Structure 1
Amino acid sequence: MRIGIVGFGVGGRRFHLPYIQAATEWELTGVVARSEATRSSLAEAAPGVPAFASLDALIDAGVDAVVITTPPATRRELVLRALERGVHVIADKPFAPDAATARELISAASAADRMLTVFHNRRWDTDLVTLRSVLDSGALGPVWRADFALDQDDRAVLDQGPDEGLLRDLGAHVVDQLTQLFGPVDRVDAHLDWFGSRDARVDVGFFLGLHHASGVFSSVSSTKGARRNDRRMIVIGHEGNYESHMADVQVDQLLAGLTPAANADVWGVEAEERWGVLTTGAGAIRVPSLRGDYTEFYRDVHRALVDGTSPSVTLDEALHTVAVLDAARESAETGERVRVAVRP
């Protein structure tokens, strides 16, 4: 199938292009890239792939699907236009600024009879895939609570404005991860760290307390404004705990010049010294890293289109994630625990 990318900033270049290139089920038809600098970057990263000036020009060239990875403020209009033109759509996260807009996009996809899915690629993070295997093994017994953190010393990438902020960015990822592990969220307690003032302020950090309908309580925090890097996953159950401090393996490998297509034998596997530790009554053991690979997201979408089934990232799940973020913003503003309005 033929696919195009709309937008070629950090997201398009680092989180989409390498994995589309590795997924041989797809042919990359072109990229919407307007500035000369962006077109030069595309020519270096994907020689021979044409650049287009607009979404319509890309669709006119012939595509089955497009990836919308432009800034959040532009995403709604482009998703609606692509669906109107009759192509399937992969929307970067957050695919909508609020639940009302999410419902609008879902309705448009239904009316167009085209697939719309959301790029929750971090379901295929190395640490999450490995943690899932620990939970599936039953070694922890019934889970009581979990503590996740994803701190990055990367304040410069946060744009200021009402449609930006860390909660909508990394928050969308970690909320999706935790709901995948422990089920839908019923209630939220939240705090946001703000940078700037008035209409120009942006949240550069958050702490969320998620009360899952399953009875599990998870806390998740992140910051891009505190000059620190940390990544942890701690899960506590009746029989013990699992603790992981793995790196952002796939991003680190890309920055080191590796790609999932050229380096498949080592791709997405954490170094042994950073393996997680499972501690139970039998003692502590290091859990070997499983392979994380965002390429699986694109293979999954292709399978769903061929088979006429739903992709792994369903719209009900994506809408629930947006609703959790809505509740978190309300909780941070009011200081109250807020019930999530939409459950999958």
Structure 2
Amino acid sequence: MSRGPGVRLCLHWLVDLSDAHLADAVADLRLGLRGAGVEEAPGARDAHAVLVWRDTPPGPALVDRLARLGVPVVLAGPTLAADPDGAWTGHTGLVTGPVTPAHDVRVRAGRDAGGMAARLVDHRHGTGAHLGEHVHVHDRVLRVEQVDDDVAVLLTAAVGLAVHPVASRRGPVLAWLLGGTPTGVASPTARRLLLLALHELVAATGRPASAPRTPVRAALLGYGAIGHEHAAAFREVTGLGLELVCDRNPERLAAAREVSPGLRTTTDAAAAVEDPDVDLVVVSTPPDTHAEWALRAVRAGKHVVVEKPFAIRTEEADAVLAAADEAGVLAVVYQNRRWDPDYLAVARAVRSGRLGEVFHVEAFVGGFGHPCNLWHSDVDASGGAFYDWGAHVIDQLLDLFPAPVAHVSATTHKRRWFDVTNADHSRVLVHFADGAEAEFTHSDLAAALKPRWYVLGTAGALVGSWRVERVVSRNAVGTLEEDVLAPADSPPVLDLHDADGSVTRLATPSAPPHPFHRELADHLLLGLPMSVTGATSRRVLAVMEAASASAADGGRPVVPR
């Protein structure tokens, strides 16, 4: 795990909450912020800011003491709602009114959001779902009846046709009106916005916290099929930038420059890793070289993102993680299918409890056809059949089951495609310590497809059925042309089967824009945790390694390292 972004905000907390649930949520927030590198000062004068979270009237003594400190002050959560006499009004420039009931609050950038506006969006809606970019926080909104002219409005929320500030700053005082409910405090979105607002506050008041240079400048080591995806993300995610692309193929370098004008390119991988203008290296080389280049990057003091799989052997991943920890940099794997729409829907159904206790999951990817003749199908370069699609699907399965893995058993078949060295058909069964089990099958010999998902729980089941989609167009002479997509190119249809025999078709949520890269930026710049970590991808690698050992020994159960 990296030591975080170098962001070192230091806060002094004044918490006085009669609502025990809200107090517990604020305590958890403090723990989360400490995990993000935010320190706590024992005294107010030693802090970048004093953060006040109260649901009781302040009293004139407290207001006077904070006003005389000469330190920025944050009035958070219900603090202003609990000020019926308006003791804070002269400091915030806000005249407040009643509080709404808790609801789904759509938070939008205010007129003075500045750089916060570009960091706001964390999800995507279907076409026409809402107007304007926003994020969601389940919370109450304190209505603001008057805003003085010298107040900087950072974030807003609408109640009816009126727009109310939910984050505003007047001089050294930040009014943070979110966090009046436990759910509002616990919201990851609200936590992210609070950190952005805190940095804006201390920077605007001349007390900037230490922070890394922005944007975080990346080098892509290899510009293959995934290259355009990374390039778009580094262009579009605020806080990240693409500095350099390295590839031995001049045509690929030309393709990179075409989509990223002004981009530097090179064929010298060693120079790219050592480049002083690079902060982060994306290792997108064949898997048997992942560990080598990741180690070189972290030893050069660079953060590193490795394409899946992490490596071929667990000891290689351990060496990368140990070196990254020693250097204080991030090492993580690009597990982009953690955000596949069908997986998001499956995970939501499992974690909501709608299926009861889930004890058995089967996942399948494949079809009948010749595998590619690239390194993906070469056992020495790729690691074998379990390391390609397995790196994606096993990551999803392990994310569903947090229990320790007891053992792994696996089998493979080599029966038809003899011009490639990977297995034609592979199956791995993961047994967990709590008795649950998960199976993944990948096949290039499946003339009939199994469901993408088959999930059993004590209260129901979920089936994900492949669908065949066609892109219809006209050819040059005007007659019909159809491009039939591979099943894996379309999200499956998900049906939830209840114990009473009823069947519910589940919606698949839209994937958020560049979710991995947005989390990457938030981690490196704000210290926020990532969904994918080096440790979780090391766990995936251990299962793939055990599956390969089991298959080589006739399916004998193997305990992952």
Q: Which residue of 2 aligns with 1:137?
A: 352
1:261-310 deviation line (CA, Å, top 9, x unaligned):
xxxxxxxxx78xx5411110351111111122471111112212223355
The 10-residue stretch of structure 1 (217-226 or 134-143) with the greater mean CA deviation from structure 2: 217-226
Aligned to 2:304: 89
Is residue 2:511 matched to residue 1:292?
Answer: yes
Offset of residue 54 of structure 1: 2.3
- SS of residue matched to 1:3: strand
Matches within 5 A, 1:17-36: 17-36=231-250
Give the corresponding residue for 1:113.
328
The CA deviation at 1:143 is 1.1
Q: 1:220 and 2:436 equivalent? A: no
> In the TM superposition, what is the alpha-carbon distance from 1:25 to its structure 2 partner?
2.8
Matches within 5 A, 1:248-259: none
| Structure 2: runs of 5+ lacking an equivalent | 1-215, 472-489
- State the aligned residue count: 318
Q: Secondary structure at the match of 2:323?
A: helix
Residue 225 of structure 1: how far off its partner (Å): 5.6
Greater helix content: 1
Q: Which has the higher contact order (CA 8 A, sep 6+)?
A: 1
1: distance between equivalents of 2:370 and 2:532? 27
Residue in 1 that maps onto 2:371:
155
Equivalent residue runs for 1:231-310 within 5 Å:
232-245=452-465, 275-282=493-500, 283-293=502-512, 295-308=514-527, 310=529
What is the match of residue 328 of structure 1?
A: 547
Question: Aligned partners of 2:547, 2:503: CA distance in 1, in Å?
Answer: 36
The residue number in structure 1 matching 2:318 is 103
Q: Identify if the C-alpha distance between structure 1 residues 236 and 17 changes in structure 2 by more than 3 Å, giving closer, same or farther.
A: same
Shift of the 129–306 alpha-carbon distance from structure 1 to 2, 3 Å rule, reads same
Identity of aligned residues (%): 28
Partners in 1 of 2:371 and 2:234 — Cα distance? 28
Matched AA of 1:171: G
Q: Does 1:39 align with 2:39?
A: no
CA contact 1:182–1:214 (8 Å) conserved in 2: no
Q: Which residue of 2 aligns with 1:209?
A: 429
3-state SS in 2 of match to 1:75: helix
Say which of 253, 262, 275 aligns to 1:48: 262
CA contact (8 A) 1:94 1:169 kept: yes
Q: Do 1:93 and 1:172's aligned partners in 2 also have CA atoms closer than 8 Å?
A: yes
For residues 49 and 247 of structure 1, what CA distance do their matches in structure 2 show? 40
TM-score (norm 1): 0.83
Cα distance change, pair 20–326 in 1 and its aligned pair in 2 (3 A): same
CA contact (8 A) 1:167 1:205 kept: no
Aligned residue in 1 for 2:41: none
Task: Please say which of residues 167-176 and 50-59 is displaced more in the overlay.
Answer: 50-59
Give the Cα–Cα distance (whole angstroms) in 2 for the partners of residues 230 and 19 of structure 1.
34
Deviation at 1:128, TM superposition (A): 0.4
SS at match of 1:201: coil
TM-score between the two structures when normalised by the length of structure 2? 0.53
1:267 aligns to what? none
**Which deviations, in whole Å up to 9, do the C-alpha atoms of 1:185-237 show, x marking residues without a partner?**
2211101233548xx73234310111122321111111246577776111111
Once the two structures are superposed, what CA deviation does each residue of 1:230-270 show, in whole Å capped at 9, x if it has no partner? 76111111111111236799xx9xxxxxxxxxxxxxxxxx7
Tell me the equivalent position of 2:411.
191
Q: Which amino acid aligns with 1:279?
A: H
Higher alpha-carbon deviation: 162-171 or 188-197: 188-197
Question: Are 1:122 and 2:337 matched, yes or no?
Answer: yes
Partner SS state of residue 202, structure 1: coil
- The answer to whether the 8 Å contact 1:122/1:294 transfers is no
Find the aligned partners of 1:79 and 1:228 in 2 and give their Cα distance.
40
Range with greater deviation from structure 2 (292-301 or 92-101) = 292-301
Q: Give secondary structure in 2 for the equivalent of 1:10.
A: coil
Q: What amino acid is aligned across from residue 320 of structure 1 in structure 2?
A: R
2:547, 2:558 within 8 Å by CA — same for their partners in 1? no
| DSSP 3-state at the match of 2:381 | coil
Partner of 1:71: 286
After the TM superposition, which of the residue ranges 300-309 and 210-219 deviates more from structure 2?
A: 300-309
- Matches of 2:236 and 2:349 in 1, distance apart? 28
- Aligned residue identity for 1:193: H
CA distance in 2, matches of 1:227, 1:17: 36
- Paired with 1:294 and 1:121, the residues of 2 have a C-alpha distance of 11
Q: Give distance in 2, aligned partners of 1:248 and 1:112.
A: 48
Q: Which moved more, 1:283-292 or 1:151-160?
A: 151-160
- Indicate if the aligned counterparts of 1:55 and 1:82 stay in contact, CA closer than 8 A: no
Q: Which moved more, 1:35-44 or 1:327-336?
A: 35-44
Change (3 A) 1:228 1:119: farther
Q: 1:247 to 1:317 in 2, by over 3 A?
A: farther
> Do the aligned partners of 1:132 and 1:181 also contact (CA within 8 Å) in 2?
yes
Structure 1 pair 284–225 and aligned structure 2 pair: CA distance change class (3 A): closer
Distance 1:203 1:154 in 2: 12
CA distance in 1, matches of 2:220, 2:467: 27
Which moved further from structure 2: 35-44 or 239-248?
A: 239-248
C-alpha separation in 2, matches of 1:229 and 1:176: 21
